[in-house]
Structure 1
Amino acid sequence: MFQGLSAFPLTPLDETGINEKEFIPLIERLVSAGVDSVGVLGSTGNYAYLTRTQRERVLQLAVQAAGGVPVMTSISALRTLDVLHLAEDAQKAGASAVLFAPVSYQPLTDEEVYHLYEQVTSNLSVPLCVYDNPNTTHFRFSDELHGRIANLPNVAAIKIPGVPAGAEAAGLRIRNLRGLVPSRVALGISGDPSAAAGIKAGCEVWFSVLGGLLPKTCLKLTRLAQAGREEEEGQISSLLEPLWALFRQYGSLRVASAIAQQLGFISEPALPLPLLPLNSSVNEQLTAVLREVAGLESLQN
């Protein structure tokens, strides 16, 4: 399942709970667009703010709405015991794979992270994607640690942050990591702004926040990058750059929530307190960008 576009939708919610009526259509839009897989309960899916029961319910809804399209879900949590419980829930609910980042209140050592993945993978019957997300976890994987973890059973992919700027530097980054990771383990790019660069450098999959909102556009960008059609890919990337600039400045969750609300996918910002929506000035900037981007989305076949 680790190829092409893996689209990560929001989890619409407020302080009273999950809005299931708004969540299901988000999944159905992704399926209709033809995404290669769906990733629920990622960082933009608000997993860290939900209870175990809520996370299980979201996954159940996603698997049902996906209609056979592979669904991956996060099992990240502060304690190993909780991670193991979430992994058990994910497998029972029909997840095709699990996504796991080493989140922790206390800073973790390399050995602690290795043993964490060792324990989790020994209790899995589905593939695991290692989530390298230093901005959230404050843990930085070395390529050597990635190589050790990638040799554990059931590890099938690594979700890395953005690649360095420039084709040569991006290619070197991926080649260095690939040299330490078994060929059976897919490499995927996470940072939306460098998605096309990551794919061209050798990543097999784009784990995309924007793909959870504008799947046709992101799927088109993925296919063009995979085919090496740089001029056409560059046109779409240039169009999306103002949107990604907002991602960088205000965080993908806040911006994705605002996009979903402006496009009528959700009724209220899907932000758990204490997170606050974008202010009116930034929302106006976003509206101007979406006039062009939403038009591109509606024109894709």
Structure 2
Amino acid sequence: MILPNGLSAFPITPSDTDGRVDVGGLRRLLAPLCEAGVDSIGLLGSTGSYPYLSRSERRRALETAVDAVAGRMPILVGVGALRTDEAVALARDARALGAAAGLLAPVSYTPLTEDEVFEHFVTVARESGLPLCIYYNPGTTHFTFTPALVGRLSREPGIVAVKCPAPGRREVIAQLTGLREAVPDGFSIGFSGDWNAVEALLAGGDVWYSVMGGLFPRTAMAIVRAVRDGDTDAARALDARLQPLWGLFKEFSSLRVVYACAHELGLCSTQPPRPILPLTGPARDTVVRTLRDLDLH
């Protein structure tokens, strides 16, 4: 497979109140990503609300994306589930439908040990045959991947990448160096958390797993191109312009903000999956005003 690199754009998964995927809305969200030439699409990530959708609806979303993308870029798809056998089934579905890789998070109600997470990942990789990206998202899973555990997993067949939360500018080089020392050459190390991700790219990260890129891919690709061209000043200037958006992401959560933006842009009229409530009143007004001021694409 092609290892994740550059911009991996993470769209929302529009659905109705019964959790049925809005196929038309998802196609409208995917079209700009294809037109902008993003490096990959991160379907059914946290922004894509994967834990709130049934197996059949996750299949529907992936079938829609595979058809809409038509091979123009790889699709990474969330395959996380509470039970290992369910994650295996989801990963098998993803492989059969044409996903390039799975995004596997250690979802659990009972806190997991490192050995339990190791066995979970190895089993899903072995029994599904789908290449896996370690989906490190401690804000939702409350599990911390140590560099040692990432290194241990990176040497297992089929585990090819890690997606980490980007630390602040002062910490990113040390974190990236620690991970590089733990994993074999060629293992993809990428970062999420849009407000810190540009500095992670500039430090040498392979991928920006971007929420903003799932809705404004042209703007995100401009940053990625600046990094690839070695134009640090341009990349940081573009990032600085987006500080109002990063502030909203941190205040209200990126998920709620991008739902409000997608609605305002007329791409879909869906709401976040309950019990998550849509932004209303002054909060929504602030998002709309910021969106108009930034004039993103």
AA aligned to 1:138 is: H
CA contact (8 A) 1:224 1:230 kept: yes
Correspondence for 1:194 among 193, 196, 208? 196
Give deviations 1:185-211, integer Å, cap 9, x for gaps. Answer: 100011111111111111111111110
Correspondence for 1:232 among 228, 234, 243? 234
Structure 1 residue 231: deviation in Å? 1.9
Q: Matched residues in 1 for 2:132 and 2:248: separation?
A: 30
Task: Name the structure 1 match of 2:273.
Answer: 272
Task: Name the structure 2 match of 1:57.
Answer: 60
| SS class of match (2:279) | coil
CA contact (8 A) 2:92 2:129 kept: no
CA contact (8 A) 2:136 2:163 kept: yes
Q: Matched residues in 2 for 1:268 and 1:128: separation?
A: 30
2:161 is the counterpart of 1:157? yes
| SS class of match (2:289) | helix
Give deviations 1:201-255, integer Å, cap 9, x for gaps. Answer: 1111111111000000001111112323122112211111111111111111111
Task: Name the structure 1 match of 2:221.
Answer: 219
Correspondence for 1:130 among 134, 138, 161? 134
Correspondence for 2:102 among 81, 98, 113? 98
Task: Name the structure 2 match of 1:82.
Answer: 86
- What are structure 2's unaligned runs of at least 5 residues? none
2:70 is the counterpart of 1:67? yes
Q: Matched residues in 1 for 2:98 and 2:201: separation?
A: 28
* TM-score, length-scaled by structure 1: 0.94
Structure 1 residue 27: deviation in Å? 1.2
Task: Name the structure 1 match of 2:245.
Answer: 243
AA aligned to 1:129 is: C
Give deviations 1:62-108, integer Å, cap 9, x for gaps. Answer: 01101112111010000001001101111111111111000100000
Q: Matched residues in 1 for 2:231 and 2:281: separation?
A: 38
* TM-score, length-scaled by structure 2: 0.96
Q: Matched residues in 2 for 1:205 and 1:29: separation?
A: 19
C-alpha RMSD of the superposition: 1.2
Structure 1 residue 56: deviation in Å? 0.7
Q: Matched residues in 2 for 1:268 and 1:164: separation?
A: 33
| SS class of match (1:35) | coil
Q: Matched residues in 1 for 2:146 and 2:177: separation?
A: 14
Give deviations 1:254-281, integer Å, cap 9, x for gaps. Answer: 1110011111111232x11111111220
Query: How many residues get paired?
Result: 293
CA contact (8 A) 1:164 1:173 kept: no
CA contact (8 A) 2:21 2:60 kept: no
Task: Name the structure 2 match of 1:10.
Answer: 12
Structure 1 residue 290: deviation in Å? 1.0
- What are structure 1's unaligned runs of at least 5 residues? none
Q: Matched residues in 2 for 1:293 and 1:31: separation?
A: 22
CA contact (8 A) 2:169 2:200 kept: no
| SS class of match (1:189) | strand
AA aligned to 2:153 is: I
Task: Name the structure 2 match of 1:41.
Answer: 44
- Tell me the percent identity: 41
Correspondence for 1:108 among 97, 106, 112? 112
Runs of 4+ with >6 A deviation:
none
2:250 is the counterpart of 1:254? no
Structure 1 residue 117: deviation in Å? 1.0
